[in-house]
Amino acid sequence: MKVTVDKDLCIGCGVCEGIAPELFSLENLPTAEVLLSFVPEDMREAARQAAADCPESAILVEEGSAPHQEHESPERDIIVEEFADENRDDIELELKEKKMKAIVDKDLCIACGVCEGIAPEVFSLQREPYAEVLLDPIPADMEDAVEEAKEECPEGAITIEA
């Protein structure tokens, strides 16, 4: 399986990175980039989910073998798998360190957009009639913005769990 991101469609919302941080990164903003050219078997469902949840349909999943794979050596596939395994440990450790979780009470939210304006990487009003949390857990570098969004919410609809 191969995954690509259409840079013309991607808005850098972070949905893909939130679902599959081992496959997607927004480190080099403004758009998402694919970290692995070949998606290992155990990450394929996450890749499909990221594509399905992408609000701009910017993620393309090509099922089957990676293009030109028949010309590549089996050793290359082993290297790709080992790279994914090595990085998975780092990613899992990083996710364990990120403990903040934002919750929006859909009954209190009036969809005013204050939270999305403060932290658009975390909150969105595109798919629901209330603010939706895009990232769980919240990355450490976005925690201050989420705290601010909570404080500025006029209805007190955002709660934070540590």
Digit-coded pLDDT (tens) for 69-119: 444 445 555 555 555 555 555 555 554 554 799 999 999 999 999 999 999
Do 20 and 32 belong to one domain?
A: yes
Residue 157: both structure tokens together: 């609809």
Report the range of poorest mean pLDDT among 7-21, 52-66, 77-91, 124-138: 77-91
Judge contact between 98 and 21, C-beta under 8 A: no
What was the pLDDT predicted at 94?
53
What was the pLDDT predicted at 82?
59
What was the pLDDT predicted at 44?
92
Q: Which structural domain range is residue 110 located in?
A: 101-161
Among 97, 113, 143, the domain boundary falls at 97
Exposed, middle or buried by CB within 10 Å (0-12, 13-18, 19+), for 56? middle
Digit-coded pLDDT (tens) for 112-151: 999 999 999 999 999 889 999 999 899 989 999 999 999 9
Residue 90 sits in a domain whose CATH number is 3.30.70.20
Q: How far apart are CA 151 and CA 162, in angstroms?
A: 16
Q: How far apart are the two ends of the chain, measured CA to CA in Å?
A: 36
Q: What does residue 112 show for φ and ψ, rounded to 5 degrees? A: -75, -25
Do 26 and 48 belong to one domain?
A: yes
Please name the residues in contact with 71: beta carbons below 8 A apart, sequence gap of 6 or more: none
Do 66 and 130 belong to one domain?
A: no
Residue 146: both structure tokens together: 């989420």
Do 90 and 130 belong to one domain?
A: no
Do 27 and 76 belong to one domain?
A: yes
